[in-house]
A and B are shown apart, each in its own frame.
Chain A
Amino acid sequence: MAENIAILGAGMHPWGKWGKNFTEYGVAAAREALADAGIKWSDVGFVSGAATMRCGYPGYVAGATFAQALGWQGAEVNTSYAACASGSQALAAARSKILSGQCEVALVVGADTTPRGFLAPAKGYRPEDPDWVRFYLGITNPTYFALYARRRMDLYGDTLEDFASVKVKNAAIGSANPRARYRKQFSAEDVAASPMVADPLRLMDICATSDGGAALVVSSESFAKKIGKADAPRVAAISTVTPSFASAVVEMPDIATDSAAADGIEAQSFRALLPVKAYEEAGLGPEDVDFAEVYDLSTALELDWIEDLQLCERGAAARLTRNGDTKVGGRLPVNASGGLACFGEAVPAQALAQVCELTWQLRHEAGPRQIDGAKVGITANQGLFGHGSSVIVTR
Chain B
Amino acid sequence: MTQAQQAAIEGWYTMDQDQPALLGSRCESCGTYSFPAQYSFCRNPDCESTAFSETPLSRKGKVWSYTNASYQPPEPYVAAEPFVPFAIAAVALEHEQMTVLGQVVSGVGVDDLQVGMEMELVLEPLYSDEEGDKLIWKWRPAA
Q: Are B31 and A196 in contact (CB under 8 A)?
A: no
Cα A39 to Cα B66 in complex, Å, equals: 52
A55 at the interface (CB under 8 A from B): no
| Per-residue B-contact encoding for A122-165, CB less than 8 Å = 1, 0 else | 01110100101111111110110011111100110000000000
Q: Are A260 and B73 in contact (CB under 8 A)?
A: no
Grouping DSSP codes into helix (H, G, I), strand (E, B) and loop, the A interface class, with mixed when no group exceeds half, is: loop
> In whole Å, how far is A336's beta carbon from the nearest beta carbon of chain B?
30
> In whole Å, how far is A385's beta carbon from the nearest beta carbon of chain B?
14
> In whole Å, how far is A276's beta carbon from the nearest beta carbon of chain B?
17
Cα A155 to Cα B115 in complex, Å, equals: 8
Which one of A124, A139, A155, A263 contacts B101 once the chains associate, using CB atoms below 8 Å? A139
Contacts of B69 in A (CB 8 A): 138-140, 143, 198
Q: Which of A23-31, A61-69, A251-259, A324-332 contacts B (4 or more CB under 8 A)?
A: A251-259
| Per-residue B-contact encoding for A253-293, CB less than 8 Å = 1, 0 else | 01111111111110100000000000000000000000000
> In whole Å, how far is A152's beta carbon from the nearest beta carbon of chain B?
9
Contacts of B97 in A (CB 8 A): 246, 248, 259-261, 265, 267
Given A246-B97, A257-B98, A261-B31, are A148 and B36 neighbors across the interface (CB < 8 Å)?
no
A199 at the interface (CB under 8 A from B): yes
> In whole Å, how far is B62's beta carbon from the nearest beta carbon of chain A?
12
Given A127-B9, A135-B77, A257-B98, are A147 and B32 neighbors across the interface (CB < 8 Å)?
no
Cα A150 to Cα B88 in complex, Å, equals: 12
Q: Are A199 and B65 in contact (CB under 8 A)?
A: no
Interface residues of B in 28-56 (CB under 8 A from A): 30-36, 43-47
In this complex, what residue of B is CB-closest to A197? Answer: B71
Which one of B33, B43, B44, B101 contacts A137 once the chains associate, using CB atoms below 8 Å? B101
Q: Are B70 and A197 in contact (CB under 8 A)?
A: yes
B110 at the interface (CB under 8 A from A): yes
> In whole Å, how far is B8's beta carbon from the nearest beta carbon of chain A?
7
Contacts of B73 in A (CB 8 A): 118, 135, 138-140
Q: Are B47 and A198 in contact (CB under 8 A)?
A: no
Given A140-B69, A199-B67, A245-B45, are A132 and B88 neighbors across the interface (CB < 8 Å)?
no
Q: Are B90 and A147 in contact (CB under 8 A)?
A: yes
B96 at the interface (CB under 8 A from A): yes
Q: Are B43 and A147 in contact (CB under 8 A)?
A: no
Contacts of A136 in B (CB 8 A): 8-9, 76-77, 126
Cα A200 to Cα B38 in complex, Å, equals: 34
A195 at the interface (CB under 8 A from B): yes
B112 at the interface (CB under 8 A from A): no
Q: Are B30 and A262 in contact (CB under 8 A)?
A: yes
Grouping DSSP codes into helix (H, G, I), strand (E, B) and loop, the B interface class, with mixed when no group exceeds half, is: loop
Given A120-B75, A137-B103, A151-B115, are A259 and B98 neighbors across the interface (CB < 8 Å)?
yes
Contacts of B74 in A (CB 8 A): 117-118, 120, 135, 140
Q: Are B67 and A147 in contact (CB under 8 A)?
A: yes
Cα A265 to Cα B31 in complex, Å, equals: 11
Cα A140 to Cα B34 in complex, Å, equals: 22
Given A134-B101, A137-B103, A147-B67, are A261 and B96 neighbors across the interface (CB < 8 Å)?
yes
Contacts of A196 in B (CB 8 A): 68, 70
Interface residues of A in 60-80 (CB under 8 A from B): none
Q: Are B77 and A255 in contact (CB under 8 A)?
A: no
Q: Are A139 and B88 in contact (CB under 8 A)?
A: yes
Contacts of B77 in A (CB 8 A): 135-138
Contacts of A133 in B (CB 8 A): 9, 36
Cα A168 to Cα B86 in complex, Å, equals: 29
Cα A96 to Cα B5 in complex, Å, equals: 57
Q: Are B36 and A255 in contact (CB under 8 A)?
A: yes
Q: Are A256 and B8 in contact (CB under 8 A)?
A: no
A383 at the interface (CB under 8 A from B): no
Q: Which of B8, B65, B68 has the most CB of A within 10 A?
A: B65
In this complex, what residue of B is CB-closest to A262? Answer: B30
B99 at the interface (CB under 8 A from A): yes
Contacts of A248 in B (CB 8 A): 97-99
Cα A75 to Cα B46 in complex, Å, equals: 41
Q: Are B88 and A143 in contact (CB under 8 A)?
A: yes
Cα A34 to Cα B110 in complex, Å, equals: 51
Contacts of B8 in A (CB 8 A): 136
What are 17 A-B pairs with beta-carbon distances under 8 A? Answer: A118-B73, A123-B75, A127-B12, A130-B36, A136-B9, A137-B102, A140-B71, A140-B73, A147-B64, A149-B67, A150-B66, A198-B71, A248-B97, A256-B99, A256-B100, A259-B32, A260-B98
List 19 additional A-B contacts (Cβ < 8 Å) besides A120-B74, A263-B30: A117-B74, A130-B36, A135-B73, A137-B77, A138-B73, A147-B66, A147-B90, A150-B110, A196-B70, A199-B68, A245-B45, A246-B98, A255-B100, A256-B98, A256-B100, A257-B98, A261-B31, A261-B96, A262-B47
